């Protein structure tokens, strides 16, 4: 299964692997007018039960130069973020190379390939979706360089809302907050308790 840039979701990844039925995350990245923002909701669900409402699923890495958000199993995502941070130390200021190297390890390493998570990673110039099937996807950009990408249970809702809002007279952060609010109204596995990081 090939995932199209900017449309990667946990559900798409589940259909190509044997992931369990977990939900509970929406992560959205928006780049507009030189500002890049990643926003993530705080809900963690197990089946039909909300386990936690204020989880922090967006982190700053590489001394604040990179922001990463994760969807999926929390412990697995932390393992991947630690690996990504090590790659960023190995390849400073080379986010694409670090992401490709992580995806390669993730796909080929016997331990890593069992990890059930996805990452949405950005620096000031690029956004990447990194998956366990070896994909490093960059969202399609408009002619003006604006871009939107999303992952997670409510990722498609947030992505659609972000794309609809990108041409409005709004900042990247305002678009991210509005799109996440729309996703929270539609997706039962997404709430309005946001963590927002900007570059």
- pLDDT-based confidence at residue 69 (cuts at 50, 70, 90): very high
* Element holding 16 (H helix, E strand): helix 10-16
Q: What residues are labeled active site?
A: 25
Structure confidence at residue 146 (pLDDT): 93
* Position with higher pLDDT, 64 vs 2: 64
Cα–Cα distances (Å) from 130 to 46, 158, 165, 181, in that order, read 24, 18, 24, 24
CA 167 distance to own-chain centroid: 22
Q: What mean pLDDT is predicted for residues 48-74?
A: 90
State the pTM of this model.
0.84
pLDDT at 7 over 60: no
Query: At 198, is the secondary structure helix, strand, or coil?
Result: strand
Q: Which pLDDT tens digit goes with each residue over 19-48?
A: 444 456 899 999 999 999 999 999 888 778
Instruction: Compute the mean pLDDT over every residue in the chain, rounded to the nearest whole number.
Output: 85
Alpha helices in 50-154 (DSSP H): 74-90, 95-108
């Amino acid at each position: 299964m090939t995932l199209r840039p900017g449309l990667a979701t946990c559900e798409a990844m589940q259909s190509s692997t044997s992931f369990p039925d977990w939900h509970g995350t929406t992560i959205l990245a928006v780049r507009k007018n030189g500002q890049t923002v990643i926003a993530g909701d705080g809900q963690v669900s197990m089946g039909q039960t909300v386990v936690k409402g204020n989880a922090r699923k967006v982190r700053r890495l590489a001394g604040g130069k990179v922001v990463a958000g994760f969807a999926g199993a929390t412990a697995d995502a932390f393992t991947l973020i630690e690996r990504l941070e090590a790659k960023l130390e190995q390849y400073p200021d080379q986010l694409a190379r670090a992401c490709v190297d992580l995806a390669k390890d993730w796909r080929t390493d016997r331990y890593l390939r069992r990890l059930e998570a996805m990452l949405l990673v950005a620096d000031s110039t690029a956004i990447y979706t990194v998956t366990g099937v070896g994909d490093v996807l960059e969202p399609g950009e408009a002619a003006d360089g604006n871009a939107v990408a999303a992952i997670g249970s409510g990722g498609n809702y947030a992505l659609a809302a972000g794309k609809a809002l990108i041409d409005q007279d709004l900042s990247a952060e305002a678009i991210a907050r509005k799109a996440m609010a729309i996703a929270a109204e539609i997706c039962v596995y997404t709430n309005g308790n946001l963590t927002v990081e900007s570059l």
